[in-house]
């Protein structure tokens, strides 16, 4: 059911266990499914608190917000949809934040836009 790869699933279970939360984890797939159905129907209660599946859904939602329905698709040659943790680790975070910093510096007029074409006439024909 979870799309986590084995390594990340094991890491998540260890993290839940390290926080003494395994006592709240569903005992089997049937109980987990019943909890999930109540959750989807908006009928879950504090009794249905499930830290393992909840963490799984949380991570999957984050990955879905970036990759959309691709997170639910089974790629050719794969047996199940991609692991959300693996997918998020593929994101070029360093490039993105550095590019964001560059865009902000350009916006503030601190440096010239390196991607902006120089006008042949020195920008005289530019508006404003």
Q: Secondary structure of the chain: what % helix, strand, coil (to 5)?
A: 60, 0, 40
Is 53 near Zn ion (CB under 5 A)? Answer: no
Judged by CB, which is closer to Zn ion: 52, or 83?
83
Region of 4-12, 34-42, 96-104, 109-117 interacting with Zn ion (CB under 5 A): 4-12
Is 83 near Zn ion (CB under 5 A)? Answer: yes
Judged by CB, which is closer to Zn ion: 32, or 85?
85
Q: Backbone dihedral region of 20: left (phi > 0), alpha (psi from -120 to 50 degrees) or beta?
A: left
Is 8 near Zn ion (CB under 5 A)? Answer: yes
Is 85 near Zn ion (CB under 5 A)? Answer: yes
Min CB(90)–Zn ion separation in Å: 10
Dihedral (CA of 4, 2, 78, 14) sign: positive
Token pair recorded at residue 125:
């024909």
Residue nearest to Zn ion (CB): 83
Cβ-based burial of 83 (10 A; exposed 0-12, middle 13-18, buried ≥19):
buried
Determine which residue in the list 64, 86, 88, 102 makes contact with Zn ion, applying CB under 5 A.
Answer: 86
| Spatial separation of the C-alpha atoms in residues 4 and 83, rounded to whole Å | 4
- Judged by the rule CB under 5 A, the positions of this chain that interact with Zn ion are 5, 8, 83, 85-86
């Amino acid at each position: 059911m979870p799309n986590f790869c084995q390594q990340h699933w094991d890491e998540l279970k260890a993290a839940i266990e390290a926080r003494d939360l395994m006592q709240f984890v569903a005992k089997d797939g049937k109980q987990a499914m019943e909890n999930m159905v109540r959750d989807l129907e908006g009928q879950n209660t504090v009794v249905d608190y499930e830290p393992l599946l909840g963490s799984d859904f949380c991570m999957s939602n984050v990955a879905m917000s970036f990759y959309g329905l691709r997170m639910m698709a089974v790629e050719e040659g794969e047996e199940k949809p991609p692991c959300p943790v693996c997918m998020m680790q593929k994101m070029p975070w360093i490039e993105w934040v550095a590019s964001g910093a560059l865009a902000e510096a350009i916006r503030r007029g601190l440096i010239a836009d390196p991607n902006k074409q120089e006008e042949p006439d020195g920008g005289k024909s530019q508006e404003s």
